Chains A and B, each alone.
Chain A
Amino acid sequence: MSDAPVVFEAKNLVKRYGHVVALDGVDFQLRSGEILAVIGDNGAGKSSLIKALSGALIPDSGEIFLDGKRVHFKSPIDARREGIETVYQTLAVAPFMTIAENLFLGREIVRPNLLGSVFKILDRKKMLAEAARSMEEMKFSIGHMQQAVETLSGGQRQGVAVARAATFARHVVIMDEPTAALGVKEGNMVLDLIHRIRDRGLSVILISHNMPHVFEVADRIHIQRLGKRAAVVNPKKVNMADAVSIMTGALKPEAIPADSLA
């Protein structure tokens, strides 16, 4: 895993809000086909880092590379165009609309002829079929694609958001606390989906406060502290307590065995 090529990289990102330094020259590397967890205490710059990577925030300085190519995201739409999809904590779905409609929201399939290009008339059949196929591929059994999302549980709704990201992502799926609003069973369901996204060859960035979740799915863990990357560790060789200690500053990264860094 550790020799897989780097697909998504940030170098020396800085972001200041007045006197507050949110990102203090942070580096970041995501390798192909891995699940990289990002953990950090509140104020460590975790969410600023993710926002910069997903295009929701423009850093004051520093560089971001996708597949070795320099990119400048001005909005999440820019990032999406490059094949980077983000799943938000807030269950960003439209509850009264159907599963299929939510899957294609903002990216509807229109009829192939003038009816589509000029009048934007939807190709509902194709959208339904594609939605069903996508869910099938994800082994995500959720019922009828014409069911309204409001009839689903919180976990299933998040599942729809995850499936949407997986359907359209070409490089990277960023997940911002995808299990925070969910119960235990529902959270596990979303973890399964994260595994399947990785199995499809996509790289996943998972931001989470939930250490058991992080240690269950992550291949590597990026520990963010004081606006910088404190360490990247291997969850198979570092225990949860040590990871949290590095996160809070109680343990210096140098103090743990070199082979547990990743």
Chain B
Amino acid sequence: MKMKPLVRTIATSQLFGPLVALVAACVFFSTQSDRFLMGQNFSLILQQVLVVGILAIGQTLIVLTAGIDLSVGMIMSLSSMVMTKFAVELGVDPLLAIVCGVAVAGAFGALNGVLITRVKIPAFIVTLGTLNIAFAVNQIYTRSETVSNLPPAITFLGETFKVAGTTITYGTIFLLLLYFLAWFFLSQTAPGRHIYAVGNDPEAARLTGISTERVLMGVYTLAGVLYGLAGLVLVARTGVGDPQAGQTENLDSITAVVLGGTSLFGGRGLIVGTLIGAVIVGVFRNGLILMGVSSVYQVLITGILVILAVAADQLTRRMKK
């Protein structure tokens, strides 16, 4: 018990598995490609996981309450279109346009929350519904047309600066800042701990006076806001508003959460794990590309990774019982 807190946390916690997987993947890919271990390549990997990384923060909050969100990608996409169309076609001030886009995403998250807590529909069904609603609203609103010629204020997070020859985007800084805030919220504040309590045992949480409904409402709304911020990063990375974006991000965000060691049964998981999970996904994609493996195999391997991670979670739960 006299171990340093950090050492103890890593050795005994859920982070151990994800870290081993990450290191193993890095070692493997560095033997396959000389370019893999270069700083520039790592910067690229981080850029590639920006969007999924931010979405996965919201997904983590939800999975910690034993919920699931399938509307992630579509809410993000809708939010990015509101931002870009408001700024380009309505001539709204870019900053205000961003606020509007994020607000729409937050409102969709709140809608998920209301349907789950008030109407008592399972999260899986609710978000499957809002996934389709958000998609359709997006297509109707944009007539499925992309928006280009974005003002630089909207794509600011895509801009870069150099540190010791390595290019870093402001989006990467933004991602790390959001992870820090999420870590602080989840581990150091009372509402953050209530999220864990609800995921551990909703009945026990209720008996201690925690309003599970308020916690869930807050979690789904906050997740919506995060999807909006992911939409901002998406626009900054691609430089256009694309209503077809966000189709693969649902599963990717869940993959990152699960690979990061968060239990799909709720109550157990660390936000740092999700960051590691997102980076694992990025490392696999990047490494396989460097090896020249066809993209179909990347999808195949992602699928296998998710199932392995959930199986490991199930196994540890059964062993504990």
Residues of A within 8 A of B (CB): 76-77, 80, 86, 88, 90, 92-97, 101, 105-108, 110, 119-122, 124, 144, 150, 164
Contact = CB atoms under 8 A, between A and B. Distances in A.
Nearest to B5: A146
A28 B102 CA distance: 57
A120 B207 contact: no
Contacts of A80: 209
A106 B203 CA distance: 13
Nearest to B201: A94
Contacts of B268: 96
Interface residues of B, number: 21
A95 B268 CA distance: 10
Interface of B: 1, 188-191, 193-194, 196-197, 200-201, 203-205, 207-210, 267-268, 320
* Chain A interface mostly: loop
A110 B207 CA distance: 20
Interface-central residue, B1, B197, B203, B210, by most chain A CB under 10 Å: B197
A90 B201 CA distance: 11
A88 B190 CA distance: 23
A122 B204 contact: no
Shortest 5 CB-CB distances between A and B: which pairs? A94-B200, A106-B208, A106-B209, A92-B204, A120-B190
A149 to B, nearest CB: 9
Interface-central residue, B203, B207, B210, by most chain A CB under 10 Å: B207
Contacts of B209: 76-77, 80, 106-107
A198 to B, nearest CB: 23
A121 B208 contact: no
A122 B193 CA distance: 9
A144 B209 CA distance: 25
B190 A101 contact: no
Contacts of B205: 94, 105-106
A95 B201 contact: yes
A90 B200 contact: no
A96 B13 CA distance: 11
Contacts of B191: 120
Contacts of A124: 188
5 contacts: A88-B207, A95-B201, A97-B193, A105-B208, A107-B208
A76 B200 contact: no
A122 B196 contact: no
Nearest to B269: A96
A101 B207 contact: no
Contact of A121 (B189, B197, B201): B189
A135 to B, nearest CB: 16
B210 A106 contact: yes
A76 B188 CA distance: 27
